[in-house]
C-alpha cells in the first residue's frame, strides 16, 4: 500500500542501491584508506547498502583477504563519520574481498572478471559493478584498456549495470583531458562515467542551490547591477604531506583551481536549472564555464606563489622546496589566484577572484559575494568610515554556514554606522550531521544519480581557461615566495589593490 503522506515524487525516503560490487583500484592508497573505505562503512552503518553488496579491493600487494579486511577495519575505525559498531563491521566484513595484481597483469584482470561473475552467484550482486579508479592518472589508460579487453565494462548483453568513477585531475591540460575522455567514452557509455569532484558532495556547496533558488531574497540582486565582485577562497594550512611526486607534476592551479574552484564558480553564477536532474544541472554549469573568459592580461590577472619556511600554529614549518621529494629548484606553485570574467548579461564586468593555497594561516573555504556600495549615503562622511560593502558569505568549511554583513547604527546619540554580521550556522540550525562528501557521492554512483558529477564538457571548458595561465607561467620565471602562515604572495594583494579592492580575511 502506498503511504498517503508521501507522494510518488517525494524523494525524502532514503534510497538503497541495487545489489552490486564496488571494485576499488588502488585499494591500499591514501584516498581509499582515508575517504572511500570510511564512506563505505558509514553507508553500511546508515543501512544504505544493499543486501547483496561486495567491496572488492584490487592493488599491487601480496595480500590475502584477511590482510585487506584488517586494513579496511582500521581505516573505518579511524576515518568513519558515524560511530564504529562491531555488529555493522561483522556484516560488512563478510562482503570485503581482495585481489592482488598489477595493472599490466592480464591474468589478474582475467581473475577479476571471473570473480565478478562468481560474486553474482555467491553474494547476489546481480552482475552490477562500479569501478573506482583511485589510482595515479598515468595508470588510467592501462586499467581502462584491461577492463575493455576482459569485457568487464560491457553491460550491453546482460541486464546489469557497469559504471566507472574517475578521480581528478582529469588530464593535465585540454589536449590530455580530451584524450582521456575519448578513452573513457570508448570503454564505457557516457551515462556510466562518474567524474568525481568531491567539492560537489559537500552539503554547504549543495546549499548554494537552495540559497539561490528556494528563496526570493537573493536572486533579484544576484547580478552585475548589484554585485561588485565575487571572491572564492579555498585555503589550507597543511603543506603537501607525502604527495610530493603528485604535487610536483600538478601544482595548485591544476589540483584545485581547475576543478573545485571553477565548479564553485559555476554553481554561484549559473542560471536557474529547469530541474535538479543531472542533465539540467550540468547544462547550466556548462553554460557558465563556456562563457568564462581566460584572463587577457595574464601578468596582471594570474598570480602564483610558493611557500617558503615560516610559522604556523606556533610551529616552524619548512619551505616547499625543502619538502621530501621536491626539487630544490622547483617552480611548482602552491598558491594560485586568478581574476576571471563571465561574458553574459548577468555578470558582464563583475570580476570573479579565485584563490587557493597551501600553508596559509588556516583551513577555510568560502564564497563571498560582495555587493556594490550605496550610490548615495545621506550621512556625514565620518559617520560611515567603518562601513564596508555588504557581503553574503557562504562558509563552505570548516565553520559551515552563511554570513550576511551589512551596516548598522552604533548605539548612541550620533548616527555612526558600522559593519555587523548575521550568521546562520549548520550546527545550530539542524540536529542532523552532514554526510561526508565521499559518502554522498559514492551512494550517488551506486544509485546511478550523476547530478553532482561534472560532465566531460565541463572539464574541457575548465581546461580551456587554465591552459593559457599554465602556459604563461611555464614561460615566465619563478613563482613568488610567500612565508608559510601568511595569506599568500604580495602579488595577489596587488592584483586586487590595482582595482581598489582587497581580499577578505576569512
Ligand atoms: C583535493 C586536493 O582534491 O582536495 C588536495 O588534491 C586538497 O590537495 C584536498 O588538500 C582538500 O579537500 P578538502 O575536502 O579537505 O577541502
CA 255 – ligand 1 centroid, Å:
8
Cell of 237: 594550512
Question: Hunting for cell 576482459 — which residue is that?
Answer: 150
Residues 191-225: tens digit of each pLDDT: 999 999 999 999 999 999 999 999 999 999 999 99
Cα end-to-end distance, the chain, whole Å: 52
Rounded distance from Cα 200 to ligand 1 centre (Å): 12
The pLDDT confidence band at residue 3, using thresholds 50, 70 and 90, is low
Alpha carbons 469 and 338: distance in angstroms, whole number? 9
Residue range 172-188, pLDDT digits in tens? 999 999 999 999 999 99
Give the pLDDT confidence score for residue 7 in this predicted structure.
60
Locate cell 603537501: which residue? 240
Does the pLDDT at position 1 exceed 50? no
**How do 391-397 and 364-371 pair as beta strands?**
antiparallel
Beta bridge partners of 25: 58, 133
Nearest to 456 by CA among 448, 467, 464: 464
Residues 6+ apart with CB under 8 A from 66: none
CA angle, 252 then 456 then 37, to 5°: 65
How confident is the prediction for the chain on average, in pLDDT? 94
pLDDT of residue 385: 87
What's the gap in Å between 236 CA and the centre of ligand 1? Answer: 8
Average pLDDT of the segment spanning 299-325: 97
Handedness of CA 135, 137, 139, 144 (dihedral sign): positive
CA 61 to chain CA centroid, nearest Å: 29
Report how far residue 53's alpha carbon sits from residue 83's, in angstroms, rounded to the nearest whole number: 21
Q: What pTM was estimated for this model as a whole? A: 0.95
The distance of Cα 323 from the centroid of its chain, to the nearest Å, equals 25
Per-residue pLDDT tens over the stretch 58-83? 999 888 778 999 999 999 999 999 99
Distance, CA of 88 to CA of 82 (rounded, Å): 11
Range with lowest mean pLDDT among 7-11, 25-29, 433-437? 7-11
Ligand 1 pocket test: pick from 236, 250, 320 the residue with the most ligand atoms within 8 Å of its Cβ. 236
Q: What domains sit in the chain, N to C, each tagged with a CATH number?
A: 20-167 (3.40.50.720), 200-371+451-497 (3.30.360.10)
Note the pLDDT of residue 381.
86
pLDDT attached to residue 411:
95
Lowest mean pLDDT among 155-159, 160-164, 383-387: 155-159
Question: Tens digits of per-residue pLDDT, 76-125?
Answer: 999 999 999 999 999 999 999 999 999 999 999 999 999 999 999 999 99
Rounded to an integer, the average pLDDT of 6-24 is 81
Q: Which residues are catalytic, by number?
A: 260
Q: For residue 262, what is its C-alpha cell? A: 571553477
> Would you say the C-alpha torsion 405, 406, 411, 416 has a positive or negative sign?
positive
DSSP string, 381-412: GGGGTB----EEEEEEESS-EEEEEEEEEPSS
CA 228 to centroid of ligand 1, rounded, Å: 29
Handedness of CA 85, 91, 92, 96 (dihedral sign): positive
Q: Nine-digit cell at 321?
A: 622546496
Residue 330 has pLDDT above 50, yes or no: yes
Asked if residue 255 has its Cβ within 6 Å of ligand 1, the reply is yes
Name the residue among 136, 133, 137, 171 with its Cα closest to residue 462: 171
CA of 255, closest atom in ligand 1: 6
Using the mean position of ligand 1's atoms as its centre, give its distance from the Cα of residue 263 in Å. 14
How many residues are recorded in the chain?
506
φ and ψ at 397, to 5 degrees? -165, 160
Q: Which of 152, 195, 190, 164 is nearest to 177 (CA)?
A: 195
Residue 9 has pLDDT above 90, yes or no: no
- Average pLDDT (8-23) is 83
Question: In testing the pocket of ligand 1, which one of 256, 356, 434 has its CB within 8 Å of the most ligand atoms?
Answer: 256
Above 90 in pLDDT, residue 316? yes
- Cis check for the bond before 398: say yes or no (omega within 30 of 0): yes
Q: Are 197 and 260 in contact (CB under 8 A)?
A: yes
Backbone angles phi, psi at 20, to 5 degrees: -170, 170
pLDDT reading at 2 higher than 60: no
Would the CB of 236 count as within 6 Å of ligand 1?
yes
Query: Is 323 touching ligand 1 by the criterion CB < 6 Å?
Result: no
pLDDT at 259 exceeding the cut of 70 = yes
Q: Which atom of ligand 1 is nearest to the CA of 437?
A: 14
H or E element: which one contains 298? helix 298-301
Question: Secondary structure of 351-366 in the HEC alphabet?
Answer: CEEEEEECCCCCCEEE
Segment 154-173 shows an average pLDDT of 88
What is the number of helices (H) and of strands (E) in the chain?
16, 18
Amino acid at each position: 500500500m502506498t503511504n498517503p503522506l508521501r507522494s510518488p515524487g517525494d524523494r525524502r525516503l532514503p534510497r538503497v542501491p541495487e545489489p552490486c560490487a564496488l571494485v576499488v583500484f588502488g585499494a591500499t592508497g591514501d584516498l581509499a584508506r582515508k575517504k572511500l573505505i570510511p564512506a563505505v562503512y558509514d553507508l553500511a552503518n546508515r543501512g544504505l547498502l544493499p543486501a547483496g553488496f561486495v567491496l572488492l579491493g584490487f592493488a599491487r600487494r601480496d595480500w590475502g583477504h584477511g590482510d585487506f579486511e584488517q586494513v579496511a577495519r582500521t581505516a573505518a575505525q579511524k576515518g568513519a563519520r558515524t560511530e564504529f559498531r562491531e555488529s555493522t563491521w561483522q556484516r560488512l566484513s563478510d562482503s570485503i574481498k581482495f585481489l592482488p595484481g598489477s595493472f599490466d597483469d592480464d591474468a589478474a584482470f582475467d581473475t577479476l572478471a571471473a570473480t565478478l561473475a562468481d560474486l553474482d552467484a555467491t553474494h547476489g550482486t546481480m552482475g552490477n559493478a562500479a569501478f573506482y579508479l583511485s589510482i595515479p592518472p598515468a595508470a588510467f589508460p592501462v586499467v581502462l584498456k584491461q577492463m575493455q579487453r576482459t569485457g568487464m565494462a560491457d553491460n550491453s548483453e546482460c541486464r546489469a549495470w557497469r559504471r566507472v568513477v574517475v578521480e581528478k585531475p582529469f588530464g593535465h591540460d585540454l589536449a590530455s583531458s580530451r584524450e582521456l575522455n575519448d578513452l573513457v567514452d570508448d570503454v564505457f557509455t557516457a551515462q556510466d562515467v562518474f567524474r568525481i569532484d568531491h567539492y560537489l558532495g559537500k552539503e554547504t556547496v549543495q546549499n548554494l542551490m537552495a540559497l539561490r533558488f528556494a528563496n526570493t531574497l537573493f536572486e533579484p540582486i544576484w547580478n552585475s547591477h548589484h554585485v561588485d565582485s565575487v571572491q572564492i577562497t579555498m585555503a589550507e594550512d597543511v603543506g603537501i604531506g607525502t604527495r610530493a611526486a603528485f604535487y610536483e607534476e600538478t601544482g595548485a592551479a591544476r589540483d584545485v583551481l581547475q576543478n573545485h574552484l571553477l565548479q564553485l564558480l559555476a554553481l554561484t553564477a549559473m542560471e536557474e536549472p529547469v530541474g535538479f536532474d543531472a542533465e539540467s544541472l550540468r547544462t547550466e554549469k556548462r553554460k557558465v564555464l563556456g562563457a568564462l573568459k581566460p584572463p587577457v592580461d595574464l601578468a596582471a590577472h594570474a598570480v602564483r606563489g610558493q611557500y617558503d619556511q615560516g610559522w604556523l600554529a606556533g610551529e616552524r614549518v619548512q619551505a616547499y622546496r625543502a619538502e621530501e621529494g621536491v626539487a630544490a629548484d622547483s617552480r611548482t606553485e602552491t598558491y594560485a589566484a586568478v581574476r576571471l570574467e563571465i561574458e553574459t548579461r548577468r555578470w558582464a564586468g563583475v570580476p570573479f577572484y579565485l584563490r587557493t593555497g597551501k600553508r596559509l594561516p588556516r583551513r577555510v573555504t568560502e564564497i563571498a559575494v560582495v555587493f556594490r556600495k550605496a550610490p548615495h549615503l545621506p550621512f556625514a562622511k565620518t559617520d560611515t568610515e567603518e562601513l564596508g560593502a555588504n557581503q553574503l558569505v557562504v562558509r563552505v568549511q570548516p565553520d559551515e554556514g552563511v554570513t550576511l554583513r551589512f551596516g548598522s547604527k552604533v548605539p548612541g546619540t550620533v548616527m555612526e554606522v558600522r559593519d555587523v554580521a548575521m550568521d546562520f550556522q549548520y550546527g545550530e540550525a539542524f540536529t542532523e550531521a552532514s554526510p561526508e562528501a565521499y559518502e554522498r557521492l559514492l551512494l550517488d554512483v551506486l544509485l546511478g544519480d550523476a547530478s553532482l558529477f561534472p560532465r566531460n564538457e565541463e572539464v574541457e571548458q575548465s581546461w580551456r581557461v587554465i591552459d593559457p595561465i599554465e602556459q604563461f607561467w611555464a614561460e615566465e620565471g619563478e613563482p613568488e615566495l610567500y612565508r608559510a602562515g601568511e595569506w599568500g604572495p604580495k602579488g595577489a594583494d596587488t592584483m586586487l589593490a590595482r582595482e581598489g579592492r582587497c581580499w577578505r580575511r576569512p
